[in-house]
Chain A
Amino acid sequence: GENVEQHPSTLSVQEGDSAVIKCTYSDSASNYFPWYKQELGKRPQLIIDIRSNVGEKKDQRIAVTLNKTAKHFSLHITETQPEDSAVYFCAANLPGTASKLTFGTGTRLQVTL
């Protein structure tokens, strides 16, 4: 099955700096990679996703890049703000199984003033 590794497990940045979270996946047939944000005590929410036919996708201050050859994808947050503080999870779909996602273990991002 699919295996997703996520690094770092914790990340602390100053407000205004950029944050990068990296994930690797094992199955080259995976073709969909969403990122979820989970604020303390709240439910995970999708913030951005990318399909395997695209190398990069941006949405305001967040972007995701995908390197299919290396089987890794990254989340980039620019101009970080305190409200970006949360746990971020990457995920990859299990090939041939439509909707099943394998999640990384999460990155706790702390944006300090």
Chain B
Amino acid sequence: GAGVSQSPSNKVTEKGKDVELRCDPISGHTALYWYRQSLGQGLEFLIYFQGNSAPDKSGLPSDRFSAERTGGSVSTLTIQRTQQEDSAVYLCASSRWGGYTDTQYFGPGTRLTVL
């Protein structure tokens, strides 16, 4: 079946502009995660959605970052007033139930470049 998809694959923006990144999880997966991968670094947790529960936003680096998940499926990560340090690959993942041993399936990522 179809895997996790993300769009756009690449995004170049100017400092100060807002950007929206989209994630389509695997159909039927109730849990959705956003990570950030900076050059040469590991994956940094940003936010986690599980079903209809309030999202876990503990990884968001500043209040310029926000995310929503509509209808328990598609998610959008929004970065307002982008800064150069926001440049990274943003990865989305989904898992079936969100249990601690659930496999997280990753999307291809969105490469964000802030000029």
Say which residue of B4, B33, B43, B59 sits within 8 Å of A99 (CB atoms): B33
| Docked-complex contact A45 and B106, CB < 8 angstroms | yes
- In the assembled complex, B40 has its CB within 8 A of some CB on chain A: yes
CB-CB under 8 A from A34, the residues of chain B are 103-104
The secondary structure that dominates the B interface is loop
Q: What is the CA–CA distance of A100 and B43 in the complex, to the nearest angstrom?
A: 11
Q: Which size bracket describes the interface of B in this complex?
A: 20 to 34
The secondary structure that dominates the A interface is strand
Q: Which size bracket describes the interface of A in this complex?
A: 20 to 34
Smallest Cβ distance from A95 to chain B, in angstroms?
9
Known contacts being A32-B100, A32-B101, A99-B99, is A43 close to B109, with CB within 8 Å? yes
| Docked-complex contact A89 and B43, CB < 8 angstroms | yes
| Docked-complex contact A103 and B98, CB < 8 angstroms | no
Smallest Cβ distance from A98 to chain B, in angstroms?
5
Residues in A71-86 with C-beta less than 8 Å from chain B = none
Known contacts being A43-B106, A44-B91, is A101 close to B101, with CB within 8 Å? no
Binding site for A on B (CB under 8 A): 4, 31, 33, 35, 40-45, 48, 50, 56, 58-59, 91, 95, 98-109
Binding site for B on A (CB under 8 A): 4, 6, 31-32, 34, 36, 42-46, 49, 51, 89, 91, 93, 97-106
